[in-house]
């Protein structure tokens, strides 16, 4: 399982929190340990970094966060990732691996 993020999963004063951190926190709370991949760059810009190019290849757009499950499904948007994590706790069939590197 890989979670593509911008520059990291740090807290911000932004209302609602930082989307990459929200997605990462939800996955960890559900027992997952995603490999966090920093993509750098900015979503509205062309895919200038290798990470953003990979995100574009996976989803057709350059915005993060993007989750790639162990089954190969790509899910973008922090709210969709949070919903997926709640619906697929680690240890359930289709729930991904809890032992992946963070």
pLDDT tens-digit profile of 36-94?
Answer: 999 998 888 888 899 999 999 999 999 999 999 999 999 999 999 999 999 999 986 55
Tens-place pLDDT, residues 16-44? 899 999 999 999 999 999 999 999 988 88
Question: Is 23 within the bounds of a domain?
Answer: yes
Residues whose CB is less than 8 angstroms from the CB of residue 50 and which lie 6 or more positions away in sequence, other chains included: none
Q: Which of 100, 70, 99, 102 is nearest to 84 (CA)?
A: 70
Say which CATH number the domain at 36 has: 3.40.30.10
Please name every residue paired with 37 in a beta bridge, in sequence order, or none if there are none.
4
Which pLDDT belongs to residue 96? Answer: 53
Please give the Cα distance from 98 to 34 (Å, whole number). Answer: 8
Query: Which residues span the domain enclosing 51?
Result: 2-87
* Global confidence as pTM: 0.86
Which pLDDT belongs to residue 55? Answer: 96
């Amino acid at each position: 399982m890989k979670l593509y993020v911008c520059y990291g999963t740090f807290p911000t004063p932004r209302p609602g929190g930082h989307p990459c951190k929200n997605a990462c926190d939800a996955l960890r709370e559900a027992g997952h340990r995603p490999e966090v991949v920093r993509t750098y760059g900015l979503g509205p810009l062309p895919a200038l970094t290798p990470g953003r190019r990979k995100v574009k290849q996976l989803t057709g757009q350059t915005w993060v966060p993007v989750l790639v499950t162990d089954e190969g499904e790509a899910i973008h948007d922090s709210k969709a990732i949070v919903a997926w994590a709640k619906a697929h706790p680690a240890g359930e069939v289709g729930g991904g691996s809890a032992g992946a590197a963070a």
